[in-house]
């Protein structure tokens, strides 16, 4: 590794979970206030604070589902009810022999996890609105079952909640129990937020296609998140039942579900601190406006509208002081191609990536029609042609997004079959998009780190508990991403929120993200669109350097100069068919190409 790269690697940020989500200080302040609360306030406020802690235990998990993964789960009160009934029934001794409340708490967590997964799984197939409706339906079912299954739940009469023994039996004792669990939940979810899993969730939320291209497996990730979210909701239910001391189906109205959901939204998506403050705010609000309790649903709705319209980023956006500093207005992107060998490493002796007679039509439109193509390691292959000639479709077939109807895609002679869309990244096939797909609310560096998600070794649980492998992954991803950003010339913008950048900079971020895969093949869809002449030149040099490092580059472009300057081989498409193929010199003088496309 050369010294420049080594220097970049040594500048690493603190990898603490809480630190990465908006500074540790606000959390420490909340911890101090929470711990000293009995010194300031009386028993009544202790009760409200206990309730806020319990709600947060649930919302912390829901936050990963709604705020990070972007799934509209509005019926989460069902899991609170399930946890509450499980713990109550197990400790009441009505249906089964009496269990210890702690054991009941653990079982409530397990039941919550299982049902969290059951409610969550439809999210893999259903989009936004439909998923929201299934969660609501589930909440109704749970409520009806609780009402009807009298022998176990006591029906409308209800059942007594669990009582935790000393030292948690007193009001303040129970408060500390809930406060401790809330603090642990905060810590765990902040760890996830600052891990490759948290970043992958935001990628699924804001740029699903890019997440797949980076190799992120949505089903596995969402499964982990729903299990966790369900488990903490189950725990919250058990605590809630204990706080209520007696529960009936009425204790779990849909209003409560809306409260949880809105707490995440007003907190801000992709934040831990925001939803935590949102939960405290929404729990305490009715106390300040006691005469308005009857209007609480109305108030929540108004609050939600105001937030969505005025500050879509929620509390987290208000607190994001760092991103209010103006950026330099004249920012040149100066790539450092000499860093590439250190980033991409020594190329493996993979053979070519080939397309043989590939055809794909959409309804009546023959997007590509019997296309042959060969991309060799270490070379730049240009793909040009008028709009609608099938260039992007070709990229989509190679990257596994679409399955061709005829023909074959081969890597080193092996046929690439229909695979999950995220599998091509494991073959080190990386890509960028015609319209940049990035996570606008994440920092530039985090966006680039998303590209290396599949190279982490630690599991979801290891990240949740901040174990050593999680730290090693984070340091590795942080260092590699810093290097990738320096290679494309954007290292100074690493800490900036990505949606503040210019279009041309987003194109280079996408390249940096793709480089995180140490790609054997890199597919670029119109990378020069929207770039200045100077930037196009630098882009050209960067692509040549990437190829020299051993990567096979396929570049779709409209700028003939760029293509003819950097490509070893050019294929011209027209109406999905190959019009011509050859070296740049051959293509430049090809009569049909000149007539149909270059307009010379
Ligand atoms: P290019 O990138 O060369 O401009 P595309 O590959 O995007 O062209 O599109 C080729 C043709 O296939 C166009 O006629 C386009 O309308 C059509 N097409 C591409 N994707 C789809 C799709 N998902 N559904 C229907 N038609 C599509
Ligand atoms: Mg296109």
Protein residue with its CA nearest to atom 17 in ligand 1 = 367
**What backbone torsions phi and psi does residue 96 show, to the nearest 5 degrees?**
-135, 165
Residue 8 lies in a domain: no
Quote the tokens at residue 529: 């669109």
Structure confidence at residue 160 as a pLDDT band (50, 70, 90): confident
Is the per-residue pLDDT at 343 higher than 80?
yes
Is 571 near ligand 1, meaning CB less than 6 Å away? no
Residue 14 lies in a domain: no
**What's the rounded Cα separation, in Å, for the pair 214 and 208?**
10
What residues have their beta carbon closer than 5 A to ion ligand 2? 391-392, 434
Protein residue with its CA nearest to atom 8 in ligand 1 = 388
Same domain, 150 and 193: yes
Is 271 near ligand 1, meaning CB less than 6 Å away? no
At 8 the pLDDT is: 45
DSSP H or E run through 245: none
We report the CATH number of the domain holding residue 383 as 3.40.50.300
Is the per-residue pLDDT at 16 higher than 60?
no
Select from 456, 460, 453, 390 the least CA-distant residue to 425. Answer: 453
Q: Strands 569-574 and 577-582, how do they pair?
A: antiparallel
Looking from the CA of residue 363, the nearest atom of ligand 1 is 25
Residue 2 lies in a domain: no
Which mutation among 355, 362, 574 tests ligand 1's pocket best, with the greatest number of atoms within 8 A of CB? 362
> What percent of the chain is modeled with pLDDT above 90?
59
Same domain, 407 and 292: no
Segments in 23-159 forming alpha helices (H): 25-35, 37-40, 43-63, 77-92, 101-120, 128-148, 150-153
Residue 5 lies in a domain: no
Is 387 near ligand 1, meaning CB less than 6 Å away? yes
At 599 the pLDDT is: 61
Residue 179 lies in a domain: yes
Same domain, 294 and 404: no
Same domain, 212 and 114: yes
Is 154 near ligand 1, meaning CB less than 6 Å away? no
Protein residue with its CA nearest to atom 21 in ligand 1 = 362
CA of 536 to the centre of ligand 1 (A): 25
Same domain, 486 and 358: yes
Same domain, 157 and 288: yes
Is 151 near ligand 1, meaning CB less than 6 Å away? no
Is 60 near ligand 1, meaning CB less than 6 Å away? no
471 — alpha (psi -120 to 50), left (phi > 0) or beta?
alpha
At 288 the pLDDT is: 73
* Residue numbers of the domain that contains 117: 21-320
> What percent of the chain is modeled with pLDDT above 70?
93
Residue 1 lies in a domain: no
Contact (Cβ atoms closer than 8 angstroms) between residue 453 and residue 210: no
Among candidate residues 271, 286, 320, the one where a domain is terminated? 320
Same domain, 301 and 360: no
Protein residue with its CA nearest to atom 24 in ligand 1 = 362
> What tens digit of pLDDT does each residue of 516-556 get?
999 999 999 999 999 999 999 999 999 999 999 999 999 99
Quote the tokens at residue 573: 């498409």
Select from 413, 378, 379, 419 the least CA-distant residue to 397. Answer: 419
| Number of domains composing the chain | 2
We report the CATH number of the domain holding residue 51 as 1.10.3470
Select from 189, 70, 42, 54 the least CA-distant residue to 128. Answer: 70
> What tens digit of pLDDT does each residue of 97-116 get?
888 999 999 999 999 999 99
Same domain, 48 and 161: yes
In sequence order, which residues have a C-beta less than 8 Å from that of residue 119 and are 6 or more positions away?
Answer: 73, 75, 78, 79, 134, 135, 138, 226, 230
HSE-CB of 589 using CA atoms within 13 angstroms: 3
Query: Which ligand number lies closest to the CA of residue 401?
Result: 1
Residue 9 lies in a domain: no
Same domain, 455 and 428: yes
Quote the tokens at residue 577: 């068919």
CA of 388 to the centre of ligand 2 (A): 7
Residue 245 lies in a domain: yes
Protein residue with its CA nearest to atom 22 in ligand 1 = 362
Among candidate residues 320, 347, 370, the one where a domain is terminated? 320
Looking from the CA of residue 387, the nearest atom of ligand 1 is 4
Is 435 near ligand 1, meaning CB less than 6 Å away? no
Same domain, 538 and 580: yes
Same domain, 386 and 450: yes
Contact (Cβ atoms closer than 8 angstroms) between residue 352 and residue 412: yes
Average pLDDT over residues 146-151: 84
HSE-CB of 103 using CA atoms within 13 angstroms: 8
Same domain, 140 and 262: yes
Is 180 near ligand 1, meaning CB less than 6 Å away? no
Which mutation among 393, 398, 403 tests ligand 1's pocket best, with the greatest number of atoms within 8 A of CB? 393
End-to-end alpha carbon distance in the chain: 47
Among candidate residues 256, 288, 320, the one where a domain is terminated? 320
Is 362 near ligand 1, meaning CB less than 6 Å away? yes
**What's the rounded Cα separation, in Å, for the pair 573 and 372?**
11
Is the per-residue pLDDT at 579 higher than 50?
yes
> What tens digit of pLDDT does each residue of 411-451 get?
888 888 766 788 889 989 999 999 999 999 999 999 999 99
At 18 the pLDDT is: 58
Protein residue with its CA nearest to atom 14 in ligand 1 = 388
At 293 the pLDDT is: 66
Quote the tokens at residue 234: 């189950």
């Amino acid at each position: 590794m050369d010294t420049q790269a080594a220097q970049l690697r040594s500048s690493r940020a603190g990898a603490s979970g809480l630190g990465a989500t908006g500074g540790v200080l606000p959390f420490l302040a909340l911890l101090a206030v929470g711990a000293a609360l009995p010194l300031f306030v009386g028993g009544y406020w202790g009760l409200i604070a206990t309730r806020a802690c319990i709600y947060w235990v649930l919302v912390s998990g829901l936050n990963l589902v709604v705020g990070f993964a972007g799934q509209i789960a509005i019926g989460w009160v069902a899991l609170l009810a399930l946890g509450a009934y499980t713990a109550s029934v197990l400790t009441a001794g009505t249906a089964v022999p009496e269990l210890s409340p702690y054991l009941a708490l653990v079982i409530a967590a397990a039941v919550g996890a299982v049902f969290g997964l059951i409610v969550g799984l439809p999210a893999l197939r259903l989009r936004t609105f439909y998923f929201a409706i299934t969660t609501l339906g589930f909440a109704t079912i749970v409520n009806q079952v609780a009402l009807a299954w009298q022998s176990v739940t006591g029906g409308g009469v209800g059942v007594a909640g669990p009582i935790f023994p000393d030292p948690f039996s007193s009001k303040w004792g129970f408060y500390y129990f809930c406060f401790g669990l809330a603090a642990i939940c905060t810590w765990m979810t902040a760890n996830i937020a600052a891990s490759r899993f948290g970043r992958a969730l935001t990628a699924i939320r804001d740029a699903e296609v890019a997440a797949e291209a980076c190799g992120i497996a949505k089903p596995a990730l969402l499964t982990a998140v729903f299990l966790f979210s369900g488990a903490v909701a189950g725990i919250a239910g058990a605590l809630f039942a204990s706080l209520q001391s007696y529960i009936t189906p009425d204790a779990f109205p849909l209003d409560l579900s809306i409260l949880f959901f809105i707490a995440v939204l007003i907190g801000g998506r992709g934040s831990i601190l925001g939803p935590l403050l949102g939960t405290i705010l929404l729990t305490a609000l009715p106390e300040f406006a006691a005469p308005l309790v009857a209007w609480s649903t109305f108030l929540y709705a108004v609050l939600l509208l105001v937030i969505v319209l005025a500050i879509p980023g929620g509390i987290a956006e208000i607190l994001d002081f760092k991103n209010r500093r103006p950026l330099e207005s004249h920012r040149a992107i100066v790539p450092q191609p000499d860093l590439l060998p250190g980033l991409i490493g020594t190329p493996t002796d993979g053979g070519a990536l080939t397309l043989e007679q590939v055809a794909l039509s959409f309804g009546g439109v023959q997007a590509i029609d019997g296309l042959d193509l060969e991309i060799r390691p270490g070379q730049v292959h240009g793909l040009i042609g008028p709009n609608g000639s099938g260039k992007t479709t070709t990229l989509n077939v190679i990257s596994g997004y679409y399955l061709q109807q005829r023909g074959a895609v081969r890597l080193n002679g092996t046929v690439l079959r229909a695979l999950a869309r995220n599998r091509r990244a494991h073959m080190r096939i990386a890509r960028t998009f015609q319209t940049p797909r990035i996570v606008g609310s994440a920092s530039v560096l985090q966006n680039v780190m998303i590209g290396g998600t599949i190279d982490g070794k630690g599991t979801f649980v290891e990240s949740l508990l901040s174990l050593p492998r999680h730290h090693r992954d984070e340091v590795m991803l942080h260092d590699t991403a810093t290097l990738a950003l320096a290679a494309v010339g954007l290292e100074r913008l690493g800490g900036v929120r990505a949606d503040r950048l210019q279009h041309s900079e987003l194109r280079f971020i996408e390249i940096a993200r793709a480089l995180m895969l140490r790609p054997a093949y890199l597919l670029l869809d119109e990378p020069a669109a929207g770039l200045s002449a100077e930037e196009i030149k630098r882009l050209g040099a960067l692509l040549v350097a990437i190829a020299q490092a051993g990567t096979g580059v396929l570049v779709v472009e409209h700028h003939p100069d760029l293509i003819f300057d950097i490509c070893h081989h050019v294929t011209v498409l027209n109406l999905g068919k190959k019009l011509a193929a050859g070296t740049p010199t051959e293509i430049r003088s090809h009569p049909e190409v000149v007539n149909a496309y270059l307009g010379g």
